[in-house]
Copies of this chain bind each other. A is one copy, B any other.
Amino acid sequence: MTLWVITAMIVAMPRWDPRAKDRLRDAALELYLEHGYDNVTVAQITERAGLTRRTFSRYFTDKRDVLFAGSEQLPAALADAVLQADDGLSPFGALLTALVDIGGLLAGRVPHAAQRRAVIKASPELQERERTKFAAVTDALAGALRQRGAAESGAKLLAHVGVAIFQTAFERWTDQPQHADFAACVRETTTELAFSLGAVDLPAFSGRVRS
């Protein structure tokens, strides 16, 4: 096949544009930020992207899915990473390793994390969806930590704290102009938290404690 024929085929098949998904996502994020998520329709998204409803349906089930597509894989991916972390690590060490591994992958795949965050922050419905997502992540992480020997209630606590570290590190990563190093954000966040916890004199913190 000559180059000309291949070029003609590509031009004739715009619906297989490999960037269609990105164009739809870009258009959706722009519109959500301009008009508010509740006020945007799929028709407006496809119009701005210059694509059809049929193309939209190939990549997303609905306008909410534009913001959450793929996130259903996050719980299992994180749990697997916890289970596969080095045997010598403590449960919390395995958790941090998993956050860095999966977060690093995710960070590379979310080109518009800051806009996405702004859209979600403005919508109670989306906030609820985001909480549901992280609740599933927390449950999966707690299950994996139990398999690594953490106690029932301690596993849930560590999973909650891991998710808090992950969310904070991810926000800090998206706020950086250079998006340098997700692992460094996780380390910085964890160090800060360990310092806060370590600075409290626990046996003495009983000034106003009722017992």
Q: Which residues of A contact B (CB under 8 A)?
A: 85-86, 89-93, 96-97, 100-101, 104-105, 127-128, 131-132, 135, 153-154, 156-158, 160-161, 163-165, 167-168, 171-172, 175, 181-184, 187, 189-194, 196-200, 202-203, 205-211
Contacts and interface: CB of A to CB of B under 8 A. Distances in A.
A91 B196 contact: yes
Contacts of A184: 211
B181 A190 contact: no
Q: What is the oligomeric copy number? A: 2
Given A128-B128, A168-B157, A202-B187, A208 B85 contact: yes
Contacts of A196: 90-92, 154, 158
**Majority SS of interface residues in chain A?**
helix
A209 B100 contact: yes
B101 A209 contact: yes
Contact of A197 (B101, B132, B194, B203): B194
Contact of A160 (B127, B164, B192, B200): B164
Contact of A206 (B128, B160, B183, B198): B183
A210 B160 contact: no
Given A154-B168, A157-B193, 7 more contacts: A86-B208, A90-B200, A104-B211, A131-B135, A157-B168, A164-B164, A197-B197
A140 to B, nearest CB: 15
A165 B158 CA distance: 10
A28 B5 CA distance: 72
